[in-house]
Amino acid sequence: MRVSLAELHTEPFTAEREWTVEGVPVLTAAVSVPRPEPLADAVSRRIHRYYQAQCRAYLRYCERCLLPQAEAEYRAALAASSPLPFFRAELGYRVTYNEGGFWSLYTQSREPALAGPPLLTRRGDTWDLTAGYPVPLADFFPPRSPWKRRLRELAVAEIQRREQAGAARYREGWRKSLRRSFNAQNYYLTAEGLVFFFPMYALAPPAEGIPAFTLPYGSQGLRAPAPPPTVHSQHS
């Protein structure tokens, strides 16, 4: 008999790796991803495999892309008799919604940059626990609804409000970048509404982090997936 989950209980699964050059540590990577507990049904096991694969992929990325940079910085510092650098990369997550058969979260990585602040990269996931698969953003809007345009209009209005209030600063030409960098996969659910976001650097200077905007349930035809949850399980 197929089990239908109303919510998903998870615990953090953690992993850490360290890379050395000539015996000297130059890079570590720390990963924390959700692990459903217990792994008693097909949906939980599918979600478990998904985030285990993400964990492995991130560690491979650190070894293939970040380690050569860390090694180059180590050798440059050694040649210049400068203090030896040490870099740390992290991947964590936060569960933002867990009720009524929907489980939503975002994972976010933080990696060292040779110049400037660390690079933040966010990924949103919303799972239908009944079907056992991620939910496309379009499913939360009425059929044939111009939801992409409406989300962009909301972001434009919010950016203008923030700038006028002096609460944030955006790049010149952010309107064009907003259209180009919009990705329907970059969203997650919260108790207040649907949050959609843009990559770091896409719209604003790095000090602004990852620009995110919330569309409340009931606005622009957005349907609520379930009554607002009262308790969230969060890890970051």
Percent of the chain surpassing pLDDT 90: 83
Output the pLDDT for position 226. 60
Indicate whether 126 belongs to any domain: yes
The predicted model scores a pTM of 0.89
User: Residue 113: its pLDDT value, please?
Assistant: 84
Residue 184 lies in a domain: yes
The two three-digit tokens of residue 73, written as one number: 């910085």
- Residue 236 within any structural domain of the chain: no
The Cα–Cα gap between 187 and 96 comes to 11
> Would 156 be classed as within a structural domain?
yes
Judge whether 2 lies within some domain: no
CATH number assigned to the domain comprising residue 132: 3.30.565.40
Radius of gyration (C-alpha) of the chain in whole angstroms = 20
Query: What pLDDT does residue 219 have?
Result: 85
What local confidence, expressed as pLDDT, does residue 32 receive? 98
User: What digits encode the pLDDT tens for the residues 203-232?
Assistant: 999 999 999 999 999 887 788 886 444 433
Helix (H, G, I), strand (E, B) or coil at 99: strand
How many domains, in total, are found in the chain?
1
Omega of the bond prior to 205 within 30 degrees of 0, cis?
Answer: no
Per-residue pLDDT at 233: 39
- Rounded distance, CA 203 to CA 76, Å? 33
Over the chain (236 residues), the average pLDDT of each successive run of 10 is 75 98 97 96 96 98 97 96 95 96 97 87 96 94 92 96 94 94 97 96 94 92 64 39
Query: Could you tell me if residue 234 is inside a domain?
Result: no
26 within domain boundaries: yes
What per-residue confidence (pLDDT) applies to 225?
Answer: 83
Q: What is the pLDDT of residue 6?
A: 86
In a domain, 191, yes or no: yes
Phi, psi of 117 (to 5 degrees): -70, 165
Instruction: Give 151-182 pLDDT, tens digit per residue.
Output: 999 999 999 999 999 999 999 999 999 999 99
- Per the structure, the complete domain to which residue 108 belongs is given by 10-221
